[in-house]
């Protein structure tokens, strides 16, 4: 067992010693490699979305356990939860008007649990909320996402409002964790439950991004085959 863990420890130690640019490059290479593997292994891309929602739900379950058992929301970002609720609400609208399927049910369940977390932080556990640490201005991410969604959105047969809304929720989902990271940076202390939640959120965001990237690649290749 020790022999098996030594190479892993050596690799992680080597990565930690690298400068930020090298770490960023390694992260990009790892993400691209994972995307290629997922495209080869996963044939039904919707499974990636289901997996992303499952991991996200697991992370929210950790938060709910923290809020209900420990009766504290210290270290949690209310703004990050509000951004999550916002993109889930928009995506739920898009799911209703564009395609009603398992995505709609999963988003509904995730939105309900996220609203419960917001309720607990805002009202039940307000005394332990670190308002001064949760100082990330959400318009820094909302406004760019709105502008980007207007400029870059899917070219499908749906109404322009629906296409812009879909793009907006995709962009906002990718950056909704930033306020939580800011809180962790300000507090200098990361609680285990918060760390587990952020880790689960990172995996969920990657799987969700992989789902949409592979979906776009699949549709593009399908259109090319039809044209040919």
Q: What is the pLDDT of residue 79?
A: 95
Confidence at residue 45, expressed as pLDDT on a 0 to 100 scale = 62
Specify the residue for token string 């995506």. 91
Q: What is the pLDDT of residue 160?
A: 87
pLDDT mean for each 10 residues of the chain (228 residues): 56 68 62 61 69 84 88 91 94 81 82 94 92 92 93 79 88 90 86 84 80 62 46
């Amino acid at each position: 067992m020790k022999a098996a863990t030594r190479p892993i420890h050596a690799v992680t130690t080597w990565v930690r010693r690298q400068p930020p640019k090298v770490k960023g490059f390694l992260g990009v290479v790892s993400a691209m490699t994972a995307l290629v593997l997922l495209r080869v292994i996963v044939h039904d891309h919707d499974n990636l979305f289901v997996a992303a929602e499952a991991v996200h739900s697991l992370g929210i379950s950790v938060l709910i356990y923290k809020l209900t058992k420990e009766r504290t929301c210290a270290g949690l970002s209310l703004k990050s939860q509000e951004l999550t609720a916002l993109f889930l609400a928009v995506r739920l609208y898009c799911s209703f008007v564009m395609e009603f399927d398992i995505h709609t049910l999963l988003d509904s369940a995730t939105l309900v649990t996220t609203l419960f977390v917001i309720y607990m932080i805002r009202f039940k556990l307000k005394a332990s909320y670190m308002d001064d640490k949760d100082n990330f201005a959400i318009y820094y991410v909302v406004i760019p996402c709105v502008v980007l969604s207007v400029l870059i959105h899917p070219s499908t047969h749906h109404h322009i409002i629906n296409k812009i809304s879909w793009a907006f929720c995709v962009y906002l989902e990718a950056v909704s964790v930033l306020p939580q990271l800011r809180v962790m940076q300000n507090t200098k202390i990361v609680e285990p439950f918060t760390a587990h939640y952020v880790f689960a959120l990172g995996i969920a965001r990657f799987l969700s991004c992989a789902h949409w990237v592979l979906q776009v690649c699949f549709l593009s290749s399908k259109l090319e085959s039809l044209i040919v």
